[in-house]
Amino acid sequence: MNELKKQVESLMSDVYRTLLDYDEVILTNEQYDNDNDLVWDVPRVGVVTKYGYYIEFAITKITKGGEITGKGLGEDWGDTYSFTVNELSYGEAVNLLGFLCN
């Protein structure tokens, strides 16, 4: 069981480490501002505010070193959120990496 745990931890580290090397615009401001259907096809990240509100952001850009920019969806359209690769859940990180690899 310990061996399996080590393998999973190694895989998780590899995913986060790999994302640190990407430098890519996933969705341009023009595409976002024009309410392009692409907005709904890019990876998303969910954030819960200190007041318990859930906000969903479309990931629009990742820069080398792991800085990520997201733009609000739904009622939060137009809001911008900046965060790092390390703040992503493992599921969000795998989803983003899969998107970038296609």
Instruction: Give the pair of three-digit tokens for residue 68.
Output: 């990520």
Burial class from Cβ neighbours inside 10 Å (0-12, 13-18, 19+) for residue 87 reads middle
Report, as an integer, the average pLDDT of 37-45. 92
Check whether 33 has a pLDDT greater than 80.
yes
Report, as an integer, the average pLDDT of 12-36. 92
Q: What does the pLDDT read at residue 102?
A: 86
Q: What does the pLDDT read at residue 43?
A: 96
Rounded CA separation 26/42 (Å): 7
pLDDT in tens, 58-88: 999 999 999 999 999 989 999 999 999 999 9
Contacts of 49 (CB under 8 A, 6+ apart): 55
